[in-house]
Amino acid sequence: MINLTHTPGGLCGCPSRRAVLRALASVTALAGAGALAGCGSTGAANGSTPAASGSKLAAIKARGKLNAGVKKDVPGYGYYDPAARTYAGMEIDLCYQIAAAVFDVTYDEARERELVSFTDVTPKTRGPLIDNDQLDVVCATYTITPERIESWDFSTPYRTDYVGLMVKKRSGFTRIADLDGRIIGVSQGATTQGLIEQMLKDEGIDARPEFLAFSGYPIIKSSLDAGNIDCFAMDRSTLAGYMNETVELLEPEVKFGEQNYGVATKKGSDLSTVVDECVRACAASGWLDAEIEKWGLV
């Protein structure tokens, strides 16, 4: 049984528009915090054999830090502040909860002792960095899918979201059908394009948009602002970090593309159970709900 203790809590010959955008997308592809006691602070020792060969838990303890992959450009989840040289967001806090579980310390101690080493990841790099053991966990708005479960272990979902379609208010778009023949910007390696195509089919919407994949969210937003694409599609809480008075969600009442985020770990590792127990404990204690409110993840 994991013991939970609650402490108060503390983004004319000129090339055609499409040709330019495709070139831009190709170039970018080459570039390639609350105070609670640890939600799973006693779980790391259960069932683990520190000296066991191939033990992920033993390797982390010997190293003295949990290596975590997070987002650097998703305000509210994972955002890197270059001025402060720190990461902040719900998923950053959750990584500290996991570290508290692994090292059998409190959440506060995990933060004070900086028991997590963060690496920013993209949808394309998340899985490979787990496979080559550069990362122990990936907590980076990683949607759980049947295909991904075949390659990595995932915790119980810690957040559920839906796909959103961000457009400029001046565009005049009022219906999803208005995106017929338009360009939708999505993130490389994400499931967004397939989910939009399935939604159009399910809803019987007569629209065939084009898609361009980019390496990061900021460049998708800047492309939207510049008028180079017509829509920025991504999970709604991710889009929330890029909302301002010039943009809006297109038909937000149409909910589709349910996204269940989980913490990913190496398939079959002894770390996987500890991570899942930690996430479950954080959910049961109300910590996750408090984090959602704290970071404005609506």
**Assigned domain for 210 exists:** yes
Residue 25 domain-assigned (yes or no): no
169 vs 247: CA distance, rounded Å: 5
Answer yes or no: are the C-beta atoms of 110 and 103 closer than 8 Å: yes
DSSP 170: G
Instruction: Give residue 118's identity as a one-letter amino acid code.
Output: F
* 42, 65, 203, 285 from 291: Cα distances, Å: 21, 23, 34, 12
Lowest pLDDT segment from 49-53, 88-92, 94-98, 251-255: 49-53
pLDDT digits (tens, 9 = 90+) for 6-43: 333 333 344 444 444 444 444 333 333 333 446 654 44
Range 199-208 average pLDDT: 96
Q: How far apart are CA 78 and CA 96, in angstroms?
A: 13
Of 19-28, 53-62, 139-148, 151-160, which gets the smallest average pLDDT? 19-28
pLDDT(46) > 70: no
The predicted pLDDT at position 298 comes to 67
Residue 5: predicted pLDDT: 40
Least confident of 43-47, 59-63, 223-227: 43-47
Same domain (yes/no): 255, 111: no
Res 162 pLDDT > 50: yes
Q: Is residue 153 domain-shared with residue 179, that is, in the same domain?
A: no
Name residues whose C-beta falls within 8 Å of residue 9's C-beta, 6 or more positions apart in sequence: 34, 35, 36, 290, 294
Give 267-295 pLDDT, tens digit per residue. 999 999 999 999 999 999 999 999 999 99
Mean pLDDT value of segment 262-270: 97
Q: Which amino acid is at 127?
A: G
Taking alpha carbons only, the member of 172, 174, 173, 183 closest to residue 208 is 183
* Judgement on whether residues 239 and 283 belong to the same structural domain of the protein: no
Residue 220 lies in a domain: yes
Note the pLDDT tens digit of each residue in 212-223: 999 889 999 999
Same domain, 235 and 92: no
Domain around 184: 162-259
Q: In terms of domains, do 237 and 101 share one?
A: no
User: If you average pLDDT over residues 162-166, what whole number do you get?
Assistant: 97
What is the token pair recorded at 85? 């040289």
Are 115 and 177 part of one and the same domain? Answer: no
Residue 39 lies in a domain: no
The reply to whether 219 and 106 lie within a common domain is: no
- What mean pLDDT do residues 217-234 have? 97
Task: Tell me: do 229 and 136 sit in the same domain.
Answer: no
Which pLDDT score, from 0 to 100, does residue 238 have?
A: 86
Query: What integer best gives the mean pLDDT of the chain?
Result: 86
Q: What percent of the chain has pLDDT over 90?
A: 76
Q: Does any domain span residue 245?
A: yes
Q: What are phi and psi of 88, to 5 degrees?
A: -145, 150
Q: What's the whole-number mean pLDDT along residues 73-101?
A: 96
Mean pLDDT of 69-91: 95
pTM (2 d.p.): 0.75
pLDDT at 15: 43
Residue 75 maps to which CATH number? Answer: 3.40.190.10
Q: Tell me the mean pLDDT in the region 205-215.
A: 96
- The total domain count for the chain is 2
The more confidently predicted of residues 191 and 275 is 275
Same domain, 267 and 236: no
Q: Is residue 184 situated within a structural domain?
A: yes
What tokens does 12 get? 């004319």
